[in-house]
């Protein structure tokens, strides 16, 4: 049996129907539309699913793209959000991801992964992270961060709790742990070769 062919590219407006297929109409992704880190808690709770989808669509139609989409054998199957840290006000407020004195001011951040049910455990998240990293570096990023969970510490993490990615996923892409703000979370960083 041939290996799965996974391709990844920056999302753009004409791919909106495919991105809708990735987020789906039930489950956590369809309720969030990658707006959790873009809004205050109150704003997030006040917006409907449809309003969150409109916000993501508006950012997809603009430049730069807010993330990358993955295709497996021609089917849209995954999404990773990646933008400069400053694009995510929620990151600055979070006790996990807030900036410390010696942190880079505005690295690019990979904040979210969505892989459609039925396509998990087939390398999609790895391809998404590689694509997100390549996209950020291609846009001039010197540093790219991730804020993954560590299932080695807490094996019972659900797939919904893994939307940040995992420590092993980021490690396999060359990211290094720079600190652990909690037992189950890490700040991981990739620095572009100089």
Where is pLDDT greater, at 134 or 4?
Answer: 134
Residue 152, judged by CB atoms within 10 A of its CB (0-12, 13-18, 19+), counts as exposed
User: Is there a domain that residue 165 lies in?
Assistant: yes
Is pLDDT at 2 greater than 50 in this prediction? no
Residue 184, judged by CB atoms within 10 A of its CB (0-12, 13-18, 19+), counts as middle
3-state secondary structure of 29: helix
Is pLDDT at 24 greater than 60 in this prediction? yes
- Residue ranges making up the domain that contains 59: 6-191
- In the chain, what percentage of residues exceed pLDDT 70? 98
Looking at the structure of the chain, the number of domains it has is 1
User: Is there a domain that residue 99 lies in?
Assistant: yes
| pLDDT of amino acid 3 | 56
**Alpha carbon distance 161, 165 (integer Å):** 9
pLDDT in tens, 52-91: 999 999 999 998 899 999 999 889 999 999 999 999 999 9
Tokens describing residue 183: 């037992």
Domain at 82, CATH number: 3.40.630.30
DSSP state of 166: B
pLDDT in tens, 99-144: 999 999 899 999 999 999 888 889 999 999 999 999 999 999 999 9
User: Is there a domain that residue 82 lies in?
Assistant: yes
Average pLDDT, the chain: 92
């Amino acid at each position: 049996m041939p290996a799965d062919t996974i391709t990844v590219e920056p999302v753009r407006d004409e791919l909106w129907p495919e991105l809708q297929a990735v987020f789906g109409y039930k489950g956590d992704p369809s309720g969030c539309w990658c707006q959790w880190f873009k809004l205050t808690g109150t704003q997030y709770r006040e917006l409907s699913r449809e309003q969150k989808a409109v916000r993501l669509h508006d950012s997809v139609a603009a430049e730069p793209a807010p993330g990358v989409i993955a295709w497996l054998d021609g089917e849209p199957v995954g999404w990773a959000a990646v933008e400069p840290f400053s694009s995510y006000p929620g990151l600055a407020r979070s006790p996990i991801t807030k900036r410390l004195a010696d942190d880079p001011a505005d690295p690019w951040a990979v904040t979210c992964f969505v892989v459609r049910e039925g396509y998990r455990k087939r390398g999609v998240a790895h391809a998404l992270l590689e694509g997100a990293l390549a996209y950020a570096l291609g846009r001039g990023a010197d540093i790219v961060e991730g804020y993954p969970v560590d299932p080695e510490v807490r094996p019972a993490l659900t797939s919904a709790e893994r939307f940040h990615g995992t420590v092993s996923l980021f490690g396999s892409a060359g990211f290094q742990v720079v600190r652990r703000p909690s037992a189950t979370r890490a700040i991981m960083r990739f620095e572009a070769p100089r």
